[in-house]
Amino acid sequence: MRFDLLTRNSPRLFAAVGGWYTVAEVIASRVVYLLAYLVTGRVVVSALIAVGAVLVFAVVRVRTDRNWWQAAGALLMVGVCATLAGSSGRGADFYLPNVLFTAGGGLVLLVSMLVRWPVAGVLIGRGARAGWRRDPVRRRRYQLCTAVFLAKAALSLAILVPLYLAGSVVPLGIICTLGGLPALSVCGYFCWRILRDERALTGAAPGAVPEPA
């Protein structure tokens, strides 16, 4: 079993989106906003506190790795959330971008499966020029991996949309937080289980040398 089949491109992709700094910033913005809202009950104050928390992370990021654009991107994201909540006065609007991002991501996953270019194959199978599309076994397994993330997105939307429409800030914040890295980690584990049988993945006979992905 070759674990690097799934993780070969993961470090590069993870670094491209900002690595652990981005993870910490996203979690901090959601959790800090929720805690501040529970304590103060004021949307604008809570949003500003969340922006301040992400600003601290951004300063640390710039001082440690000089990565200005990713720090600015994190501030922009939390700034959009804070602006939406502050302008409308609805606490739930802070989490609206998360709901929209989940819906958009789910749509991309669905379309990729319908056109037989599953996202998992493009990311894990080394892009569009790789030979994985000519292997029906591998293609089906990449479709299945993509379906795992699509199911996660659909389940998240089924919970998030009613909570957002009802303006339920606390459960919405909890679900948005748990639906991030923890849920994605579970999906990643299921994909690893799907892809770990290298002989089944490549369609090779026992003892044959697998075709590189």
Q: What burial class does residue 22 get, using C-beta atoms within 10 Å of its C-beta: 0-12 exposed, 13-18 middle, 19+ buried?
A: buried
pLDDT band at residue 11 under the 50/70/90 scheme = very low
**In this structure, are residues 52 and 104 in contact, taking their beta carbons and an 8 Å threshold?**
no
Residue 210 lies in a domain: no
The model's confidence at residue 151, banded by pLDDT at 50, 70 and 90, is very high
**Residue 90: CB atoms within 10 Å:** 15
Highest mean pLDDT among 21-25, 87-91, 117-121: 87-91
Is 123 part of a structural domain of the chain? yes
The reply to whether 207 falls in a domain is no
With a cut of 50, say whether residue 205 has pLDDT above it.
no
Least confident of 37-41, 60-64, 100-104: 60-64
Residues 6+ apart with CB under 8 A from 27: 177, 180, 181
Q: 109 and 149 in contact (C-beta within 8 Å)? A: yes
In the chain, how many domains are there? 1
Q: Which residue has the tokens 């909570």?
A: 163
Q: Note whether residue 208 is domain-resident.
A: no
Structural domain harbouring 47:
4-202
The confidence score (pLDDT) of residue 3 equals 39
pLDDT confidence of residue 43 = 94
Q: Which of 16-30, 35-49, 96-110 has the lowest mean pLDDT?
A: 16-30
| Chain mean pLDDT for the chain | 80
Helix ranges (H only) for 66-180 are 68-88, 96-114, 119-124, 136-166, 169-178
- Confidence (pLDDT) at 126: 64
- Is residue 178 one of the residues assigned to a domain? yes
Position 17 pLDDT exceeds 70: no
Residue partners of 166: CB distance under 8 A and separation at least 6: 92
Q: What is the pLDDT of residue 120?
A: 87
Q: Is residue 13 part of a domain?
A: yes
Residue 209 lies in a domain: no
| Farthest CA pair distance, the chain | 65
